[in-house]
Amino acid sequence: MSPKSANAVTDRYDTEASFYDYLYDRTEDLPFYTELARSAKGPVLELACGTGRLAIPVARTGVDVTGLDMNKQMLTVFRRKLRRESLATKKHVHLVEGDMRHFQLERKFAFAFIAISSFLHNLTIEDEESCVRNVFEHLRPNGIFIVEVFNPDLSRSGRVVRLDKVIRHGDTTILRFPSQEMDTRKQIIDANLIYDFVQKSGAVRRKVVSFQLRYVFKDELVSLLEGAGFRVDAVYGNLDMVPFQTESPLIICVARKPT
Ligand SMILES: C[S@@+](CC[C@H](N)C(=O)[O-])C[C@H]1O[C@@H](n2cnc3c(N)ncnc32)[C@H](O)[C@@H]1O
């Protein structure tokens, strides 16, 4: 990731941190991750944990979870949310400010995961390899790593701006207009998110955040994981664990570190 794109991703999440949980208020992935974390019977690592949308519910089930993220604002929101949790849940959470490509932790984990396409913040093959290698080194033998990304839809390559979210945040109404362009040769999505913050008075402040994602294909992701030493047990196409098909919305790789 070049310094410029690292700044871009920081700018995006600095902007979104305070209202991230309203933007991404989805819960459909909670049972999938909490169940896998519980059945791992050991400590769990969530890469790019953000505001703890998933890590906190995992900790509530009594599982020890380490959340790693490089954005200070997102981690501040995580810590603020954690204050409202029970002592038992708090004890199960460990937060690390760090980069998924270059982290070094003292612990080895039974289960690691990276959800909601956050893996695509790795913008080069070297970054992807470094991230996957790092996770491999931090897993116990037989440990599981789940990578969940969207299945790229190359028909959505044109730039179209549309309103996709309206949320209320205090006295402000926030409108989001995403647009994106795909470079199908480099597998890079150039994305813009236009945010309009509308005050009660009608005054509007606009903020545009631009960032990139590197999308990956199913076979590519499997090769990447195998290249780092993982055995890929399954590839699902959605959170109901239906096997991956070309038209699936998601690519969910279940990779195991051999014993
Ligand atoms: C879409 S959010 C996902 C947050 C959370 N996992 C969830 O499910 O809601 C993506 C997160 O990735 C983090 N991130 C991006 N690049 C990163 C990197 N290289 N290392 C660690 N975290 C990173 C961002 O700071 C942000 O919090």
Task: Describe the chain by its helix, strand, coil percentages, rounded to 5.
Answer: 30, 35, 35
Instruction: Write the residue with the smallest CA distance to atom 12 of ligand 1.
Output: 48
Whether residue 156 is predicted with pLDDT greater than 80 in this model: the reply is: no
User: Quick one: which atom of ligand 1 is closest to the CA of 1?
Assistant: 19
The per-residue pLDDT for 6 is 64
Query: How crowded is residue 119: how many other Cβ atoms within 10 Å of its Cβ?
Result: 26
Read off the pLDDT band of 100 (50, 70, 90). very high
Q: What is the mean pLDDT of residues 145-159?
A: 87
C-alpha 168 to ligand 1 mean position (Å): 23
User: What global pTM score does this model have?
Assistant: 0.95
Mutate to test the pocket of ligand 1, among 51, 105, 116, 121 (most ligand atoms within 8 A of CB): 121
87 has a pLDDT exceeding 90: yes
pLDDT band at 197; cut points 50, 70, 90: very high
CA-nearest of 243, 42, 4, 154 to 12 is 4
Name the band, by pLDDT with cuts 50, 70 and 90, for residue 158.
Answer: low
Over residues 140-153, the mean pLDDT reads 97
Over residues 47-68, the mean pLDDT reads 98
How many whole angstroms separate alpha carbon 68 and alpha carbon 47?
5
- pLDDT at position 157, please? 63
CA of 118 to the centre of ligand 1 (A): 5
For the Cβ of 54 lying below 6 angstroms from any atom of ligand 1, the answer is yes
Decide: 77 in ligand 1 pocket, CB within 6 A.
no
Q: What is the mean pLDDT of the chain?
A: 95
Is 214 near ligand 1, meaning CB less than 6 Å away? no
Average pLDDT, integer, range 135-149:
98
Q: What is the pLDDT of residues 202-252, one digit of tens each?
A: 999 999 999 999 999 999 999 999 999 999 999 999 999 999 999 999 999
How much is the average pLDDT of 189-203? 95
Query: 9 falls in which pLDDT band (50, 70, 90)?
Result: confident
Residue 1 confidence (pLDDT): 45
Any idea which residue has 């949308």 for tokens? 53
Q: Does ligand 1 come within 6 angstroms of the Cβ of 100? A: yes
